[in-house]
Amino acid sequence: MTQILVVDDDRAVARLVQRCFEGSDVEVLSAQRAAEVIPLIENHAVDVLLLDIMLPEISGLDIARQIRQIDSKLPIIFVTGRDDSETTIEAMKLGAYDYLVKPLDVGMVQDLVERAIENRRLMHEPVVLTPQQENENETGDLLVGRSPQMLAVYKEVGRVAAQNVNVLIRGESGSGKELIARAIYQHSNRSDQPFLAVNCAALSETLLESELFGHEKGAFTGADSRRIGKFEQCNGGTIFLDEVGDMSLTIQAKVLRLLQDQRFERLGGAETITTDVRIISATNRDLEEMIADGDFRLDLFHRLKSFEIAIPPLRDRDGDLEQLVQYFLKQFNKQLGKEITGLSAESLARLKAYDWPGNIRELQGVLRKSMLMATSTVLAPEWLPPELFGETTPHHRAESTGNQEDAFDVFLTQLENRGSEDMYAESLEWMEQRLLSFVLDKTAGNQSKAAALLGITRGSLRHKMRALGITVEQVVKGDD
Ligand SMILES: Nc1ncnc2c1ncn2[C@@H]1O[C@H](COP(=O)(O)OP(=O)(O)OP(=O)(O)O)[C@@H](O)[C@H]1O
């Protein structure tokens, strides 16, 4: 259960935030007075704080300073009446996650809070590497796999984590680059400082530049106030630049300068700002080829890879597939209320023969989808998706008739047979899984378009996708 705390003397703010998360697994706590804040934070596992900057008795900034003493990494979203005030800048420099300007917009609140929750997860959810610790009661994300190839990776993480050098993580899509980045951060000397992740492929050039370096008012159309960028906000911390190969040459030049002398200017600004950040970057692109084509700077490449970790693709990890399958079976049995005991020999052989271009993420998706559909306790090949057989059309079960009602009936009968006491929730999950996959497929993975079709915000869509274990790659790849 995720908990967010809303502190505002205007009760309407807490009510609005409550409305934003109705029906989700987010619990909204609220307080109207400054004196309540610290005890609430001390006594609850608060994941995100929405804090009014202008409380009657004390400034929100002063409370934030006190909170930093207790929890230096709690994402704080300030709520303010004006968006160009110096106070807002001050708040961002204090390490606030972001700020919202009143009147609040439901979509924006959802979107920002979702992102802050995700950021909290990235910082807090421990990534467990040590082989002896592999047990199901472990909390956090477990890096499963004891192949010699992965043991070498864990050793490298151990070697480099405490050194204050930039690390470049390379590996195919879905191979675990983000998990490794978090493991490095968590074992580093900066683990008590923030960790901020930026996906360089997800934003347009101007927006990415502004996200990283900030901007001054009027720097570009739509820049109606000054904004502090991640490099300034994350002073003393670690930035994870995901998909670093997707940065434009202009931004590459700016990042290079930052790496050379830890200085930069906000977009459209003259003031030179100094910052101290460690960069962990990741890519699945062939940077050497990009350098040869003039698309990536050689000098930046060398700066980013003071240390390089190459994550092997799943197909090259000796013996990891079986362990991962066991691990995900247990996990999904719990999540889906199933009792699937294992895979048939033929299914396992099929999984082993497959190439896994989407690596662990694809394996997760395949198992989840198959387990959701399966009506037997052993996962037979008929429940596996067609792409594993090199087919492009469904070849099995009720779905093969194209009749979704049949598939739903099968699912319901199965729930009934195993005496489910949670049919409502389980059926809704089944439907949501299909609905989201369908819409994301129709929009070729475009989440904004998908959210618009569904009539929900992008934040809610992302939240649902995470809860259901759906990734865009899976959807798009699974159906092409
Ligand atoms: N060794 C592992 N053990 C258990 N789960 C794993 C392992 N590696 C990856 N995962 C899971 O697989 C999914 C994809 O991992 P991750 O996001 O770290 O990959 P990535 O390489 O960063 O992907 P992308 O290239 O798309 O950014 C996540 O849900 C992650 O928790």
What are the residue boundaries of the structural domains of the chain, listed by start?
Answer: 2-108, 127-312, 315-479
Q: Tens digits of per-residue pLDDT, 110-153?
A: 989 998 998 888 888 877 765 554 555 556 688 898 899 998 99
Out of 242, 243, 332, 360, give the residue to mutate to test ligand 1, the one with the largest number of ligand atoms within 8 Å of its CB: 360
State if residue 284 touches ligand 1 by the CB under 6 angstroms criterion.
yes
* DSSP states of 112-129: HHHHHHHHHHHHHSPEE-
State if residue 242 touches ligand 1 by the CB under 6 angstroms criterion.
yes
Who contacts 124 (Cβ-Cβ below 8 Å, separation ≥6)? 73
- Domains 2-108 and 127-312 are alike in CATH topology: yes
Q: What is the pLDDT of residue 190?
A: 93
From the list 404, 405, 474, 408, the residue with the least C-alpha distance to 445 is 474
Fill in the amino acid letter for 350: R
From the list 107, 6, 89, the residue with the least C-alpha distance to 448 is 107
Ligand 1 center from residue 332 Cα (angstroms): 16
State if residue 367 touches ligand 1 by the CB under 6 angstroms criterion.
no
Query: How far is residue 209's CA from residue 204's CA, in Å, rounded to a whole number?
Result: 8
State if residue 471 touches ligand 1 by the CB under 6 angstroms criterion.
no
Query: How far is residue 421's CA from residue 415's CA, in Å, rounded to a whole number?
Result: 9
pLDDT higher than 60, residue 476: no
Judged by DSSP in three states, 22 sits in coil
ipTM above 0.95, yes or no: yes
Protein fold of 315-479: Helicase, Ruva Protein; domain 3 (1.10.8)
Question: Does residue 4 contact residue 48 with C-beta atoms inside 8 Å?
Answer: yes
Q: Which helix (H) or strand (E) holds 381?
A: none
Q: Tens digits of per-residue pLDDT, 239-260?
A: 999 999 999 999 999 999 999 9
Ligand 1 center from residue 324 Cα (angstroms): 12
State if residue 128 touches ligand 1 by the CB under 6 angstroms criterion.
no
Sort 134 into a burial class: Cβ within 10 Å, 0-12 / 13-18 / 19+.
Answer: middle
Tell whether pTM > 0.90. no
Q: What is the phi/psi pair of residue 219, to 5°? A: -65, -30
Question: Does residue 111 contact residue 167 with C-beta atoms inside 8 Å?
Answer: no
Q: What is the pLDDT of residue 237?
A: 93
Q: Which helix (H) or strand (E) holds 250?
A: helix 249-261
- ∠ CA 469-140-245, nearest 5°, is 65
Q: What is the dihedral of CA 89, 91, 92, 97, to 10 degrees?
A: -150
State if residue 173 touches ligand 1 by the CB under 6 angstroms criterion.
yes
Question: Does residue 168 contact residue 281 with C-beta atoms inside 8 Å?
Answer: yes
Give mean pLDDT, residues 303-315.
96
Residue-averaged pLDDT of the chain:
85
State if residue 8 touches ligand 1 by the CB under 6 angstroms criterion.
no
Question: Does residue 28 contact residue 14 with C-beta atoms inside 8 Å?
Answer: yes
Judged by DSSP in three states, 393 sits in coil
* Domain 127-312 listed as CATH 3.40.50.970: no
Give mean pLDDT, residues 209-225.
84
Who contacts 325 (Cβ-Cβ below 8 Å, separation ≥6)? 343, 348, 351, 363, 367
State if residue 312 touches ligand 1 by the CB under 6 angstroms criterion.
no
Query: How far is residue 359's CA from residue 172's CA, in Å, rounded to a whole number?
Result: 7
Out of 178, 180, 330, 474, give the residue to mutate to test ligand 1, the one with the largest number of ligand atoms within 8 Å of its CB: 178
State if residue 365 touches ligand 1 by the CB under 6 angstroms criterion.
no
State if residue 174 touches ligand 1 by the CB under 6 angstroms criterion.
yes
Structurally, at CATH architecture level, domain 2-108 sits in: 3-Layer(aba) Sandwich (3.40)
Q: Tens digits of per-residue pLDDT, 181-214?
A: 999 999 999 998 999 999 998 888 888 999 999 9
Q: Comparing 84-98, 199-213, 272-286, 390-404, which segment has the lowest mean pLDDT?
A: 390-404
Atom in ligand 1 nearest the alpha carbon of residue 364: 12
Atom in ligand 1 nearest the alpha carbon of residue 176: 18
